[in-house]
Every structure is written in C-alpha cells, then in structure tokens.
A and B are shown apart, each in its own frame.
Chain A
Amino acid sequence: MKNATLKVAAVAVLCASAGAMAANNPTAAGLNSVGDLNISITKGELVRVSQLADILFPPMATMAADTTLTTDICVFSTTGGYNVTVTSPNANVNQLRLAAGGNFLPYSMSLDDYAAPQTLPHGIQRTGFTGADPVNDLCSGGTNATLSATILSADFNAVPAGAYADTVTMTFNPE
C-alpha cells in the first residue's frame, strides 16, 4: 500500500513576497512520498481615509469672532500611525486660501487624532499621528480623528463679498 501525504493551503498574498523559497518534492518513489511546501503571506502597510465631508461655513456678512468648523473622519492604518499632507490649488506658499475670483480669504486647517493635534499647512507633511484603526478600514462605522477649518474674523471682514471656496486634497501615508 502506498501512502502519500500532501499539505495544501490557499492564501491571498497582498503585497511583495517575503523572499525566495521553494517547495520540496521527493526525488524518487517510495513506500511513502513526502513533500513540503511553504506558505507565505506579506501584509503590506495600508491606509485609508474615509467619512470625509465638506466643510460649509454658513453665509454671513460679518464675523464677530474667529470661527472654526469641524468634521470627524475615519483613518485606517495597518500600523496604527500615519502622516498627512494637505494641498490646495489656491494656496500661497504654505497658506491655505479660499478663492472667489481674484479675491482670496486665508484659512487654516488642523487634524486632531485625539492625542496630539497638529496644524496642516499647504504642502507640508505632518507626521506622528496615531490612533488609526488597525483592523477595519472603515473604522466599523465610527470615527477616530477630527478635521478643523478656521477663519479669522479679521481676515473675513477685510475681504470683499463673494462666494469663496477651496478644494483640499489630503494624502495619508502609514507610519
């Protein structure tokens, strides 16, 4: 009676391989034939930002005090940490700006990971954020960070009337 043993498993490989390995196959027939194979999986560093929402300041004619609006977001990172870079087509050097034709209204953004909030100037990568969900890429429907946009009343009151807008692109990388 001949016996043969074969170990098999099916696995999804997510990223680059872990190095060269080879299955071993017996070189000759025998009463028992045993081979082995290696099973490998590499979990890459992945990140995802979700639950983003536009920040819409209500229409107003004057601003009595500096005004900040916030929106809660979900950040997933397989490492639990991440960095963020914010960019805008209306920025001036590192200053974010809303635009209405040829008129510009400066504003600032910040991200609070509930550990160490940081400002987000245009084009500067902010590192060291923590608290990302390392398991569920949609934070199981919850949120774990707060994004803020602030307009200073002095800046607001100095610009002409108009409809001001900006589109901010936020790029997240795992750390």
Chain B
Amino acid sequence: MNTLKKTALGLAFAAALPAIAATDGTLGNPSTGDIAITLTIDDLVQISRLNDITFGAYAGSGNLTATEAFCVYRNGTGLYQVTLTGDSDGLGGPGTDFFVTSGANVLPYTVDYDDGSGALAVTSATPVTTRQGHQTLPDCGVADNTSLTVTLLEADLQAAVAGAYAGTLTLVVAPE
C-alpha cells in the first residue's frame, strides 16, 4: 500500500489603525461633532476538505495517478500562493522532495496543482503564485475549487523494492 498524507497551513496578518477620538459638539446653532468608524479586515486563507491519497497495492504495470479535490479560501481578492513540500530522499536539494518512503527505500512522485484555471506541474518548495481561491466562503460552499494530482510512474514503481511506502505532502497557502 502506498499512502500519501497531506497537511496544510495558513497564514494571516493585519494592519494597525491610527488613533482617532470622537469630538463632541459645542453649544450653539448648529452643533457639530465628529466620530470615527474603524474596521480591520485580516488577511486569511484556509485549506479544507483535504483527504489522504491511498493508492492501494500496485498491480505491476502502468502509472499510478490519483486526484484529490479540496477547498482553498482566501478573503478579499481571493489570490494566494501555495508551496508544496514532501518527504526528501535525503540526497537532493530543493525540488527533490516528493517521495514516499519505505525504510531506506524511496519512490518519487510528481504533483500537479489546479485552482480551476488548469493544472500546473509543481516543484517542491517552490511557490505556485497567483492562484485563485474562494473569496467569500471559508468552506467554499458546496463544491471544492482546487485539486492536486499525484502520479507515480510505472518505471519507478517497477524498479522499487517491495514494501509499504508512505509520505506526507505539506501545502502552505499564503495570501497575495
């Protein structure tokens, strides 16, 4: 069994407001006073409805591909960037961290990310920028708006040592 687990993180920040004080009117005709009305809207993102990908037993031929649909919410403009990282094989540098492992044995996989505008191939630890999330509903309402596709190639699968492989794919979403 090959199992891929996903974790997700979101980031938020807010700006400070200047100090303002209400001013009462004086006795007269007319009387004029001022009040300030203030509000801070925080930047927020949220990933939801992620599920593990379980490929099950490899039949011996062909690629293995699975697509996981989920929700990404981003208030305001809806624009965000996402960075995906997986388990490392311990050998390479940045961009070589999409592996499932079984002890010391590793199996590489690829990830494509689709916010609804088309699938993009993802490089590990490299942000995928200017993605569009749901702008008003943190749970995207009824339907998911994003998907990722994980693929293990036949050549890698056939060459791999038998065993139960597993890994964690982490998604970090940040507002743009």
Q: Give A contacts to B, CB under 8 Å.
A: 44-57, 59-62, 71, 76, 98, 100, 105, 107, 137, 147, 149, 151, 154, 156-174
Contact = CB atoms under 8 A, between A and B. Distances in A.
B14 interface: yes
B76 A161 contact: yes
Contact of B34 (A51, A52, A61, A71): A52
A166 B36 contact: yes
A47 B32 CA distance: 9
A53 to B, nearest CB: 5
A151 B41 contact: no
Interface string B20-49: 111111111111111111111111100000
A164 B23 contact: no
Given A54-B37, A61-B44, A162 B15 contact: yes
A163 B16 contact: yes
8 contacts: A47-B28, A48-B28, A52-B22, A54-B21, A59-B39, A60-B41, A167-B34, A171-B31
B12 interface: yes
Nearest to A168: B35
Interface residues of B, number: 38
B30 A47 contact: yes
Contacts, number: 162
Given A169-B32, A170-B33, A56 B38 contact: yes
Interface in B82-138: 135-136, 138
A50 B33 contact: yes
A151 B40 CA distance: 12
Contacts of B167: none
B19 to A, nearest CB: 10
B57 interface: no
Contact of B41 (A47, A76, A162, A170): A162
A164 B38 contact: yes
Q: Give the most central of B39, B40, B43: most A CB within 10 Å.
A: B39
B65 interface: no
Contacts of B146: none
Interface in B149-168: none
Contacts of A174: 29
Contacts of A49: 24-25, 31-33
A48 B25 CA distance: 6
B17 interface: yes
Interface in B57-95: 75-77
A172 B37 CA distance: 19
Nearest to A149: B37
B75 A157 contact: yes
A52 B25 CA distance: 9
* Shortest 10 CB-CB contacts between residues of A and residues of B: A61-B44, A160-B76, A57-B39, A59-B40, A161-B43, A52-B22, A49-B25, A54-B36, A61-B42, A50-B24
Given A57-B38, A157-B75, 8 more contacts: A46-B31, A59-B41, A98-B37, A98-B38, A149-B37, A158-B76, A167-B34, A172-B30
A78 to B, nearest CB: 9
A84 to B, nearest CB: 10
Contact of B32 (A54, A100, A161, A170): A170
